[in-house]
A = this chain, B = another copy of it.
Amino acid sequence: MLSTGLPQGAVPKLERPGPLRDRVYEALLELITTRALQPGQHLVESELAGHLGVSRQPVREALQRLNTEGWVDLRPAQGAFVHEPTDEEADQLLTVRTLLEAEAARLAAADAGSAGIAALEMLCAEGEKAVDADDVDAAVALNARFHAKIMELAGNAVLAELAGQVDRRVRWYYTPVARQRGHQSWIEHRALIAAIADRDQRRATELMREHTEHTRTSYHARQRS
């Protein structure tokens, strides 16, 4: 036990830079999701290393992680290429997302505390405000946080881990479409919160399923245009 009277949280933990590979990973993921690196593009290690001011090694490790998570394709002895999502893959990903999110909604409904529900409602309110203000970026971010919060309330770390990755990839494909939907989305969120507050597992599952299925519908509608 510390004998000093310092409050526990006051020590800023003197933030260490942390492993370089992780920061490279974050940077590359940001570049990919923002379309700065386009699908199919050839990623040259030395190039990225020079651009980021680090050695090739951390870049390599970051690329490998991105590979296992499906963001880049690592062709042996040839290099890394930004993954090109096919329509089929996007569809399969949406199927899985629906599954995971629906289960999360069910679990959240099973044991949601009033504090959690309050947090959801707050996020929802902010989201609606962002939509009204036409602040699309904020709305998208709040949407992500809303779903993440439900995951948190579900209390299943493994599920959250998988859903986090799937969601992020879905959002990558879905970004161009996201600007259409927006208002309707938050209405559905409201209904979902109500179901969770009522501890109605079946209704929560069904609402979340419909909600994510609407995403799929929007995606396909977009594809055709």
Contacts and interface: CB of A to CB of B under 8 A. Distances in A.
Contact of A96 (B65, B68, B76, B158): B158
A68 B100 CA distance: 19
A36 interface: no
Interface in A30-78: 60-61, 64-65, 68-70, 76
Interface residues of A, number: 26
Copies of the polypeptide in the assembly: 2
Contacts of A18: 76
Contacts of A64: 21, 61, 64-65
B156 A96 contact: yes
Nearest to A21: B64
Contacts of A161: 70
Given A61-B64, A64-B64, A76-B18, A158 B89 contact: yes
Contacts of A93: 158
Contacts of A128: none
21 contacts: A21-B64, A60-B61, A61-B64, A64-B64, A64-B65, A65-B68, A68-B68, A70-B161, A89-B158, A92-B157, A92-B158, A92-B159, A93-B158, A95-B103, A95-B156, A95-B158, A96-B156, A96-B158, A96-B159, A99-B103, A158-B166
Interface of A: 18-19, 21, 60-61, 64-65, 68-70, 76, 89, 92-93, 95-96, 99-100, 103, 156-159, 161-162, 166
The 9 A-B residue pairs with the shortest CB-CB distance in the complex, in nearest-first order: A92-B158, A92-B156, A93-B158, A96-B158, A99-B103, A68-B68, A96-B159, A19-B76, A65-B68
